[in-house]
Amino acid sequence: MTRIRILFIFITIIIISTISYGIFVHKKLIHRLKAMDLKNKGMKLTKECINNNPYWCAVLLSIFSITLQSLASPGSLAVVMIMGFYFNPVFAIIHSTICAVLGSFFSYFIFQILAKSSCFCGDSIKKYQQAIEKQKNVFWFLLILKVNPFIPLTIINAAVSILAIPLKHHLVTTLLGVIPRNVFYIIPMKGASEILQIEGHFYKPKTIFLFTTYTLVCIYGFFKCKFKPQSV
C-alpha cells in the first residue's frame, strides 16, 4: 500500500509541476506577445477557418496527428500545440491523448513489420529483446520516459516496437505518460491564445479542475489494481 501511495504522489507531483510550469510560461509570454505583431493574415485565416468548421478541423487534426505518430514522423507536436492554441485546453488534452494512444498502437505493428523484414542489425535486436524479457521494471522505465516532455514520443514508439516490448505496457504507459506531457505543451499555448483574444472551442468552465481530479483518481485506481495482493 505504501508503494502505491509513493507512485501516486510521484505522478501527482509531475502533473502539478507541469501545470505550474504552464502558468509560469503564460506570465512570461504576456510581455513578449504584446510586443509582437502576431495577428498576421495567416493567423486570421486559420482562426476564421476553425471558427466556421471546428468539428471538421478537429477531425482533420486527429487524422493528421495519428498518421504522423504511426509513422514516427516529426510534426505531431505541432498538432498538439495547434489544438492548445485554438481549442479548449481540456478538449485539447483529451484529443491529443487519444491520438497519441491510437498512433502508438498503429506504430507498434508498423515498426514490428519493418524490423522483421529488415536484414540490418537483426542479431543485435534479438539480443536486446532477450535482455528486455528478463527485466521486471520495463513498465516503470517506459512510463518515466513517456512522462518526460523533452523526449520525442515518436522515437520511443519506434524503439518500443522494434524491441518487441509487450503491447499492453506500451499502450498503458502511453496513456498515463502523455497526459502530463500534453499539459506541459498545451497550457502555454492556451495562455498565448488568451493574450491574442482567440476564442477556444468546446469550452466549459471549471473543466480543468474536474479533468485533473478525474485523471488522478484513475491513476490511483490503476496502481491499486496493479499491486493488489493476490489471494492464495
pLDDT at position 205 is 43
Regions of the chain with pLDDT less than 50? 1, 36-40, 199-206, 229-232
pLDDT at position 96 is 86
Distance of CA 46 to the CA centre of its chain: 24
pLDDT at position 229 is 47
pLDDT at position 193 is 63
pLDDT at position 191 is 66
Question: Are 174 and 107 contacting, i.e. CB atoms less than 8 angstroms apart?
Answer: no
Angle, to 10 degrees, between the axis of helix 54-70 and the axis of helix 89-117?
30
Q: What's the pTM value of the predicted model, to 2 decimals?
A: 0.61
